[in-house]
Structure 1
Amino acid sequence: MTNPVNQELKQRRSIYALGKNVSQTPAQISETIEEAIRQSPTAFNSQTVRAVITFGENSDRVWDIVEAELKKVTPADRFPATQEKIASFRAGFGTILYFTETQTVHKLEADFPLYAANFANWAEQGLGGAQQAVWTALATENIGASLQHYNPLIDEKIKEAFDIPESWELRAQMPFGSIEAPAGEKEFLPDDVRFKIFE
């Protein structure tokens, strides 16, 4: 059985060789990203996912901040390799910054105390679903991406640079752009290790 959604999911890979050779406009890409997040489920329909979509110099600024903060904590002899990695993200067409809106999470914790211990985890699940949806939607447009996590190291500088509300907690960064080299082969665990089926 060939499922079209699964076929689309197979296109989603971590692409590290990014470029700026995309055919879509920033407005078209933003619309794709926004709709993918909009249609992603969240617990209690809480809609706690937030995103900042950056292009051009604004995208570069994200990676300038990452590089500057990493330079403070990376041994000097290892920093050139770090710079090279950051340059590969900067080479892309844009970057998505993913956030969780914590004020909503805390309100749910107060309003539904029986489930209070779960709302942070549920918000994270909602974020993961949104990231998967965006990543796949971009892949179907032949736009490559990867998911990076330089938070909380960069949180304060990002908030200052992009005027981020205090209640938005940075969770991940997604550089994206044209696919300049394909991803390598993907290995999977055996099915009997990952799944149990009872008919």
Structure 2
Amino acid sequence: MASDSFFEAVKSRRTYYQLTDDSPISDKKIHEIVDNAITNVPSSFNSQSTRVLVLLGEEHKKLWGEIVIPIIKSVAPAEAWPASEQRLNGFKAGYGTICFYEDPKDVAKLQEQYPLYADKFPQWSEHTNAMHQYVLWTALELEGFGANLQHYNPLIDEKIAATWGVEQNWSLKSQLVFGTPAGKPYDKTFKPLEERVFVHGAKE
């Protein structure tokens, strides 16, 4: 039964693009969820290299309204801008954003300690970050949020660092946007399991 309940949470995690700026839980509870993820999600060689910047309420709106939208408008083709603006305003309409970073100092330290795996640590760092993204995405949806994952880095990195005092050497990986769902997720399709799962040595 333990794995059944876990996979119910896995199945409930979907991508929601239509969001409002209501929150079903307190900011304190959001902070607690983030702390739990950062504490308990595994990392390569226990590197603990993931960093997060959590922006709620007006700080979230500042990210999208004052940083992302102007930057993307400055580089987007004029004919594509109306659709991009609508999409970006949809992100701004949410309640919060978690920006996921990796600290390269932790990666470099492991490369120095374990030269045999030096070329692998950057890749494993990406795996670590992805696990944090997934756990927080799933946990927030269990609390009643909808969320979607965006990647406007590296265009926005410098401005975010200057605005919120982020370490310049941190590497921004993604932005998890969340809010109360105002629509339904798209239908999801699945490839045949026979193309993706291969089991050897199983007993009936």
Provide the TM-score with structure 2 as the length reference.
0.94
Partners of 2:190 and 2:28 in 1: how far apart?
A: 36
Map Cα deviations across residues 39-88 of structure 1 (whole Å, 9 max, x no partner).
11001111111101011221112113111111121111211111110000
Q: Does 1:187 align with 2:204?
A: no
Q: Would the aligned equivalents of 1:20 and 1:93 in 2 still touch at CA under 8 Å?
A: yes
Map Cα deviations across residues 9-56 of structure 1 (whole Å, 9 max, x no partner).
111001101112222111211211221232110011111111010112
* Structure 1 residue 184 displacement after superposition: 1.8
Match of 1:127 among 120, 129, 135: 129
| Structure 1 match to 2:160 | 158
* Structure 1 residue 124 displacement after superposition: 0.5
Match of 1:99 among 98, 101, 125: 101
Root-mean-square deviation (Å)? 1.2
Partners of 2:39 and 2:147 in 1: how far apart?
A: 19
Structure 2 spans left out of the alignment, 5+ residues:
none
Partners of 2:195 and 2:38 in 1: how far apart?
A: 31
Q: Would the aligned equivalents of 2:24 and 2:143 in 1 still touch at CA under 8 Å?
A: no
Percent of aligned pairs with the same amino acid: 36
* Structure 1 residue 104 displacement after superposition: 0.6
Partners of 1:69 and 1:165 in 2: how far apart?
A: 20
1:147 counterpart SS class: strand
Q: Does 1:52 align with 2:59?
A: no
2:101 counterpart SS class: strand
| Structure 2 match to 1:19 | 20
The amino acid of 1:148's aligned partner reads: Q
2:62 counterpart SS class: helix
Partners of 2:84 and 2:4 in 1: how far apart?
A: 40
Q: Would the aligned equivalents of 1:18 and 1:92 in 2 still touch at CA under 8 Å?
A: yes
Partners of 2:57 and 2:23 in 1: how far apart?
A: 13
Partners of 1:86 and 1:130 in 2: how far apart?
A: 24
Partners of 2:169 and 2:75 in 1: how far apart?
A: 26
Q: Would the aligned equivalents of 1:37 and 1:133 in 2 still touch at CA under 8 Å?
A: no
Partners of 2:154 and 2:23 in 1: how far apart?
A: 30
| Structure 2 match to 1:34 | 35
* Structure 1 residue 166 displacement after superposition: 2.1
Partners of 2:16 and 2:24 in 1: how far apart?
A: 17
Map Cα deviations across residues 114-150 of structure 1 (whole Å, 9 max, x no partner).
0100111111001111111001101110111111000
**How many residues matched?**
199
| Structure 1 match to 2:90 | 88
